[in-house]
């Protein structure tokens, strides 16, 4: 497959175009973090306000991944990804033009939708690759695209420094952020001209009804209702955090909370309308056309334990190295950056092992066990440890975490082809849900070396609990046969 990637032919051409689109969406999504200090200084923000903007970056990503999944299944990856990249350009310019805290918050909330770009390529890659190549292809897409976060951290400050002559000698963060969005928008146009939804001769299948996720049994419908609760719960946590930093009043917080409850029931009603005949028992899917939402839920929990913990750890690792080993902030940040960097190799590796080992379920289960144990070992690291040994443990932990994300999405696209976008959206949303929950827990812990050790214990125990559930409840996916896909409408390439 590596030779195919370099050939830039056939499905590999689509894979390369897709991961780079995802890469640019992540550059845009993460373009605030490297400038958070400068922006806080220029616009006179408090520490709480600066951290709130980081939280706003996650807020709408959670529901956006679900909504984008629905749009994707209806209109196809080509149009969806193009529109999202054009939108990334507009929101980047809006954020770069902000003059006060309120404008920063509003534009950053809007920017959170860009974080849903990951979902789009999952279905596109699913359409172009066979099941025996699915894990590796999805791993390359996810791992190389995720590198956009590192590129934003490392590349945008250098770009801002290069453009300093246009800002009176000061780092030109505004132009650097705006340019990241403009490049994404231009690539969106290029993407539209170069990509097709499916290979020649293959139809793009979509659900017969829209507005909610299609399920194939009444039990799956009620399971879907339960699994949506944590999604809205995470949004409630973000709302509460906004009140803590006094961005909202208790009255506004209560109003937002009531709105979240109303949206949940509206979403539940729409899902019921789509699946009414199944819930009432008036329609039964044939066995070969059924899937269980419970299997999707296990992947959601697994992604919270993998990618969700990755997002949380990347945010706290600089403080971990600084407080545990008394390093400078610059050196601590450089060491912490190696954690997401492992995505380049580890995520494709997790998918590749899932393709080859014979059981995708046990691949994911064993990796989750490795994640839990490595986090627990990290919880024992103290200032008396040899720094290179601590770094080696962090790299091993990162290897398990990133490969776990690859193993999750080696399974997700195989569950039900015509709703792959919605499945990927729901699984992806749980990555953000996990990061919000972990970040909230971290906020309650003391900001000391002991607090960091306790946080690693929480991550380790959480991963082992998911590992246990996966071992007993997850099943290897049945490789779908397109001939069994019934009740679908078809759109062109």
Residue 169: the pLDDT is 58
Give CA separation, 39 vs 42, 170, 171, 267, 392, in Å. Answer: 5, 12, 10, 37, 34
Residue with tokens 């616009």: 43
Higher pLDDT, 492 or 209: 209
**CB 202 within 8 Å of CB 227:** no
3-state secondary structure of 93: helix
Mean pLDDT in residue range 455-481:
89
Mean pLDDT in residue range 156-177:
78
Residue with tokens 């792959």: 420
Nearest to 245 by CA among 54, 1, 4, 441: 54
Mean pLDDT in residue range 32-51:
82
Helices (H), 163-217: 173-194
Range of the domain at 66: 2-491
Does position 297 have pLDDT exceeding 90, yes or no? Answer: yes
Phi, then psi, of 247 in degrees rounded to 5: -75, -30
Q: Distance from first CA to last CA of the chain, Å, rounded?
A: 25
**CB 171 within 8 Å of CB 160:** yes
Q: How many percent of the chain have pLDDT more than 70? A: 93
Which range, of 351-365, 397-411, 443-457, averages the lowest pLDDT?
A: 443-457
Domains contained in the chain, number: 1
Rounded to an integer, what distance in angstroms lies between the CA atom of residue 310 and that of residue 314? 6
Residue 295: the pLDDT is 93
Which range, of 139-143, 148-152, 165-169, 191-195, averages the lowest pLDDT?
A: 165-169
**CB 59 within 8 Å of CB 238:** yes
Cα-trace Rg, the chain: 22
| pTM of model > 0.85 | yes
Give me 370's structure tokens: 């490795």
Give CA separation, 150 vs 97, 342, 343, in Å. Answer: 24, 10, 10
Residue 484, C-beta contacts closer than 8 angstroms, at least 6 positions apart: 286, 288, 289
Does position 287 have pLDDT exceeding 90, yes or no? Answer: no
**Looking at residue 371, which CATH number applies to its domain?**
1.20.1250.20
């Amino acid at each position: 497959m590596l030779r195919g990637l370099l050939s830039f032919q056939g499905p590999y051409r689509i894979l390369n175009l897709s991961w780079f689109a995802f890469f640019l969406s992540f550059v845009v999504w993460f373009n605030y973090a490297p400038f958070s200090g400068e922006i806080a200084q220029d616009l006179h923000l408090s520490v709480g306000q600066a951290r709130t903007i980081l939280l706003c970056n996650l807020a709408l990503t959670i529901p956006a991944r679900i909504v984008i999944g629905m749009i994707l299944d209806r209109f196809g990856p080509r149009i969806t990804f193009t529109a999202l990249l054009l939108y990334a350009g507009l929101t980047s310019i809006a954020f770069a033009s902000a003059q006060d805290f309120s404008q920063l918050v509003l534009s950053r909330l809007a920017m959170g939708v860009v974080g849903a770009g990951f979902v789009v390529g999952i279905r596109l890659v699913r359409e172009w690759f066979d099941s025996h190549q699915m894990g590796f292809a999805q791993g390359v897409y996810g791992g190389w695209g995720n590198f956009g976060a590192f590129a934003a951290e490392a590349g945008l400050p250098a770009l801002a420094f290069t453009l300093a002559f246009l800002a009176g000698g000061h780092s030109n963060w505004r132009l650097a952020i705006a340019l990241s969005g403009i490049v994404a928008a231009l690539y969106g146009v290029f993407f539209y001209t170069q990509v097709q939804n499916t290979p020649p001769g293959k139809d793009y299948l979509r659900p017969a009804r829209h507005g909610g996720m299609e399920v194939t049994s009444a039990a799956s419908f009620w399971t879907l209702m339960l699994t949506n609760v944590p999604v809205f719960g995470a949004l409630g946590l973000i709302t509460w955090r906004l009140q803590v930093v006094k961005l909202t009043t208790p009255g506004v917080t209560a109003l937002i909370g009531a709105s979240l409850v109303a949206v949940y029931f509206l979403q539940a009603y729409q899902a019921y309308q789509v699946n009414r005949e199944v819930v009432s028992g008036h329609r039964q899917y044939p066995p070969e056309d059924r899937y269980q939402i419970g299997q999707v839920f296990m992947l959601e929990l697994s992604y919270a334990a993998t990618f969700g913990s990755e997002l949380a750890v990347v945010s706290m690792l600089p403080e971990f190295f600084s407080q545990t080993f008394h390093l400078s902030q610059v050196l601590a940040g450089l060491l912490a950056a190696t954690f997401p960097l492992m995505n380049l190799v580890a995520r494709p590796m997790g998918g590749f092992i899932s393709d080859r080992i014979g059981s995708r379920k046990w691949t994911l289960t064993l990796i989750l066990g490795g994640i839990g144990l490595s986090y627990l070992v990290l919880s024992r690291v103290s200032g008396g440890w040899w720094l290179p040994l601590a770094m080696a443990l962090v790299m091993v932990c990162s290897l398990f975490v990133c490969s776990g994300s690859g193993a999750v999405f080696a399974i997700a696209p195989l569950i039900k082809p015509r709703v792959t976008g919605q499945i990927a959206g729901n699984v992806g949303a749980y990555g953000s849900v996990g990061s919000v929950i972990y970040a909230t827990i971290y906020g309650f812990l003391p900001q000391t070396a002991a607090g960091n050790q306790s946080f690693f214990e929480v991550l380790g125990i959480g991963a082992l609990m998911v590992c246990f559930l996966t071992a007993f409840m997850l099943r290897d996916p049945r490789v779908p046969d397109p001939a069994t896909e019934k009740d679908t409408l078809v759109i062109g390439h």
